[in-house]
Amino acid sequence: MSEQAIEQPIRTRVRIVHLADHTGKLQVIFPYESMLDMAALSRLTKRRFDPVANYNVEGDPLVKPNACNTIIDDSLHNSDVIELRSSAQHPYKDFTHTEFLSRFEGPLTRYEQIAIPLKSIEKPASEQNQDAQQMLAALGKFQSMRLQQRLEETLEIPPLPASSHRIIQLCSNENAGTDDLCDVISLDPSLSAQVISWASSPYYGVRGEIESVEDAIIRVLGFDMVMNLALGLSMGSAFQLPKNGPRHYEDFWFSAVSHAVLMEELVRKMPSGDRPRLGHAYLAGLLHNFGYLAIAVVLPPHFGILSRYIEANAHLSSDIIEMQTLRFTKEQLGAWLLKHWGLPESIYTAVRYSKSPDYEGPHCKLALALQLCHQLFNDEQPNAALLEALGISEDDATSSHHKVISSSSELSKMVDLISGSK
């Protein structure tokens, strides 16, 4: 007689988030493998809640049952075992369905559909050449106007600064040299000052004063780095930081500069014959999140909604939240914008696939390096397959990250060069 398969209990780990509006607080409990639906909460409560915590990846502590209004996602009725913890400092404990129901009963608790299972959320287009079609379809849902045939006619795209145009033209000139680059940068005195100050940063530890762009190129950064740095700095003036973004994005440019210098460190650790261009790695890091600013410019009302979702769902990767709220990701829009502006293919391709671990196409090493950056800055264990593909040891990756983190004061001064130009 054959043994019958023992049916495994359905286990669900839950996440706790505290929300508030001008009239009071609300505690919500929902599956960790789901996204909190802020629109559903608004419909159910006729109130507009915002997360209490700034950006709480770990989740909020459990308020004593019946001490405040609590809404629990009704999908938990389908679970046999519910994993719950009272705070981030405590381990998860198992509760049977009956135990959980008895713990959360009373007039202040209700069960409603407030979460969206991750498996039901659409994925980004698998190929970059499908992005425009996916974004057009999404924009058609947002805009009452008749859908345009071309994306650039639909979006109000900020013009690229003149200095950026000149540097991009220089990028395509294989015979360009130091004198040509110095001439282009010197046409923008503010940009010249930024490049010189950047090379003078304590982060690079150069002895003596950097007196000119030529000095910055020859003594410190190199031709390729200065060209791409100058391009990134000039492009930074195209967008203003949005006022209604997620609170943790107040450090947008610090994150951009940190990614840039970490990309520089990681590429230097890669096998010499297998490295992407150092300047391209730096620029990809600096512009990795540019699509975030683009969303704020082209879809301001929806950007505010996206910001609330990002804060309430800090446990999720941003591309999941963007796909549910916008139907495209900031990586898709950012890459499309950078391509539209004429940046090198390696840059926009790396940005586009920086959240795609299975990508193996052109410029994959640059995309993989960005993925490694994301893992390190999110304090995740570096993926072993990713390290192997890049030819970087875990020790080299973590030491590079530590160097960048320990240089935060120097990097902050470099960020001021961008912020001060606005």
Tens digit of each residue's pLDDT (9 = 90 or more) over 293-344: 888 877 777 888 888 899 999 999 999 999 999 999 999 999 998 888 888 8
Structural domains of the chain, with CATH: 11-120 (3.90.960.10), 128-154+239-419 (1.10.3210.10)
Q: Using an 8 Å Cβ cutoff, are 305 and 393 in contact?
A: no
Q: Region 40-61: what's the mean pLDDT? A: 90
Instruction: Kindly tell me if the per-residue pLDDT of 369 is higher than 90.
Output: yes
Instruction: Kindly tell me if the per-residue pLDDT of 1 is higher than 50.
Output: no
Pairing of strands 115-117, 34-36: antiparallel
Average pLDDT along the chain? 87
The closest alpha carbon to 373, from 271, 235, 269, belongs to: 269
Which one is predicted more confidently, 421 or 388? 388
With cut-offs at 50, 70 and 90, classify the pLDDT of residue 394. Answer: very high
pLDDT tens per residue, range 229-261: 888 888 877 777 667 666 656 678 888 889 999
pLDDT tens per residue, range 122-158: 999 999 999 988 988 888 766 644 444 456 666 666 6
Q: Using an 8 Å Cβ cutoff, are 158 and 238 in contact?
A: yes
pLDDT of residue 147: 41
Cα distance between residue 70 and residue 115, in whole Å: 14
